[in-house]
Each structure stands twice: as C-alpha cells, then as structure tokens.
C-alpha cells in the first residue's frame, strides 16, 4: 500500500530493540510517517502492524543496504524530513583485552556507519533545502568512563563530526542535533554489549568485574527508553539552534561537573562514584530510606 501523505517522515536506524524501537513508536503515535530500519525486520511484530510505518532492512556497515532503505522510504512516503542515527554497538572492557576486529567493528558501526547514512541522505536534504540529522551519541561522548575507552572514543568521534557539520550544512537549512543519554534501561546493560576478552590478557579481571557490577546496577536503574525517545522527538521538532540534548539526571549532573571541575577533581569524582564499596554503602542507605 502506498502511504504517501502530508505527514512528516522520520528515518531511524537500529530499531530492532531499545531506544530505536521506542523512538519509532513515539514518532508514529505523534502522527509521523516512520521508516523504522533494522537488521532483522522478520523478527519485528509490533511496528510492522502500525499504519504509516515501514521496516526496511538496514545494516549501517553495508552501504548498499543504506541506499536501498532510503530509496524504499522515499518510494513509500515521498520525502524524508528527519534522520535519526541510532544504530550502535557497545564494546566494553579494558583496552588490552579487546582485539583489532572488535575495535574495527566498534568504529565501523558507531562512526563510519553513521557517516555513511549521513553521506547517503545529505544530497537529498540539500536538494530539498531542509532536513534534520539527529545523531544519538552518549554521555560518554563527553565524559569518559572506565572500561569504555573504545566506546568513549567512538562517541567522541560522533560528537566532533556532528558539531563540525553544523558549519557546512547551515547554508542548506539542515540542522544537526546530538542526543546524549546517560544510563538507559535497555539491553545494552543486559548482555547485548560486547564484553568478550579476545586477547587473553587477564591483568584487569578483578578491576573489570568489580567495575562492571557497579555500572550494570546503575544501568538497571536508569531512565526508560521511552524517555530517551521523547527527547529525540523534541529535538526533531525544535527549530532552534540548540545542538545538544542530555537525557537523564546522571548525564545532566556529570555534564555540569565536567564543565566546572578541573581534570584531576573530575577524575576523582568518577572514581568515587563508581567505587564498589562506596556504591554498595550508598545503595544500602537508599534502600533503608525507602523503607
């Protein structure tokens, strides 16, 4: 069925699960046409049943699939107004434990894949003299955390790339938005991230186990994916020159601390905040207070 209409159209990557899936649903509920692209459309059971939604197959590491998904979206809806680069891969672990293949996959997905989506859609945006690129970064794109060195680096790259594009694309009325979530309750903290020790280096085992236990508990109590989706939607309809949108109190507080504190003080703050013993003590006090 041809779904061309006067509604605005959003093209979203990484809609199989998590923030991408919630964002597709949120835009649809607010009357948009939605191209909810994903790696495995055959597994999707909800979005495919909704009006004005299509689910093209897209792998951001495959340029042909990017082009095909954009073509399908234009054929179906006639136009694209907003692109949400949400697809991502989480590589977590001490740097020495991660293989070259893992490192390349991190950047192929989070950086080069995002760039390839932008490269594919920008000629269309320039032709219509409008469009919004929303790149889902992370709090750790500005605030490095332990065991996230490669993931940090990929999101730092997204931040720099996105901000640099502002100057190039402003003459064509193309806006750039950056979404910087803190801890979000998604599969990222429930086993979907890559934590495999591929080099066999065991020097970091004790540190990694203790640190990841704290981070996973923080993630389990993070904001909902629907809250992140709402922020993405708000950025899409925000016609101001605002670029960055933090999501979650942890992101907002740590961003403020990063601006105010010198490096040694900020690094100490992160160490204290992620200390397993101090975190456990704070958690016990919180639970006692809740009772």
DSSP letter string, 12-31: ES--SSHHHHHHHHHHHHTT
Q: What pLDDT was estimated at residue 274?
A: 87
End-to-end CA distance of the chain: 55
Level-2 CATH architecture, domain 9-248: 3-Layer(aba) Sandwich (3.40)
The C-alpha angle 65, 84, 52, rounded to 5 degrees, equals 80
Instruction: State phi, psi for 224 to the nearest 5 degrees.
Output: -80, 155
Q: b/e string for 232-271 if b means 16 or more Cβ within 10 A?
A: bbebbeeeeeeebbbbbebbeebbeebeeeeeeebeeebe
Q: Would you say 26 and 226 are in contact if contact means Cβ atoms under 8 Å apart?
A: yes
Query: How far is 118 from 120, CA to CA, in rounded Å?
Result: 5
Residue (of 21, 7, 29) closest to 79 by Cα position: 7
Q: Would you say 118 and 133 are in contact if contact means Cβ atoms under 8 Å apart?
A: yes
Q: Would you say 85 and 105 are in contact if contact means Cβ atoms under 8 Å apart?
A: no
pLDDT along the chain (291 residues), means of 10: 74 96 98 97 95 98 98 97 96 95 96 98 97 96 94 97 98 98 72 79 92 84 91 97 94 93 94 75 43 40
Residue (of 184, 117, 107) closest to 151 by Cα position: 107
Q: What pLDDT was estimated at residue 186?
A: 67
Q: What pLDDT was estimated at residue 266?
A: 94
DSSP secondary structure code for residue 6 in this structure: S
Q: What pLDDT was estimated at residue 286?
A: 39
Residue 67 burial by CB count (10 A; 0-12/13-18/19+): exposed, middle or buried?
A: middle
Query: How far is 142 from 156, CA to CA, in rounded Å?
Result: 6
Query: How far is 83 from 118, CA to CA, in rounded Å?
Result: 8
Give me the active site residues, please. Answer: 137, 151, 155
Q: What pLDDT was estimated at residue 177?
A: 98
Q: What pLDDT was estimated at residue 291?
A: 40
User: Is the full-model pTM beyond 0.85?
Assistant: yes
């Amino acid at each position: 069925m041809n779904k061309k209409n006067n509604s605005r159209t959003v093209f979203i990557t990484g809609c199989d699960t998590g923030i991408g899936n919630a964002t597709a649903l949120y835009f649809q509920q607010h009357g948009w046409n939605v191209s909810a692209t994903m790696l495995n459309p055959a597994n999707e059971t909800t979005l495919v049943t909704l009006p004005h939604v299509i689910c093209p197959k897209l792998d951001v590491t495959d340029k042909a699939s990017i082009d095909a998904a954009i073509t399908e979206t234009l054929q179906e809806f006639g136009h694209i107004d907003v692109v949400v680069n949400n697809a991502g891969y989480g590589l977590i672990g001490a740097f020495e434990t991660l293989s070259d293949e893992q490192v390349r996959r991190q950047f192929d997905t989070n950086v080069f894949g995002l760039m390839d989506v932008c490269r594919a859609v920008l000629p269309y945006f320039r032709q219509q003299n409008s469009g919004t690129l929303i790149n889902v970064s992370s709090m750790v794109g500005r605030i490095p955390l332990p065991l996230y060195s490669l993931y940090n680096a990929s999101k730092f790259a997204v931040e720099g790339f996105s901000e640099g594009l502002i100057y190039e694309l402003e003459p064509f009325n193309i806006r750039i938005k950056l979404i910087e979530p803190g801890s979000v309750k998604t599969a990222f903290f429930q086993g979907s991230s890559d934590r495999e020790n591929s080099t066999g280096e065991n020097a970091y085992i004790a540190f990694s186990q203790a640190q990841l236990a704290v981070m996973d508990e923080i993630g389990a109590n993070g904001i909902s994916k629907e809250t992140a989706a709402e922020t993405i939607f708000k950025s899409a309809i925000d016609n101001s020159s605002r670029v960055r949108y933090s999501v979650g109190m942890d992101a907002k507080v740590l961003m403020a601390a990063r601006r105010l504190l010198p490096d040694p003080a900020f690094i100490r703050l992160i160490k204290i905040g992620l200390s397993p013993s101090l975190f456990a003590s704070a958690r016990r006090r919180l639970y006692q207070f809740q009772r």
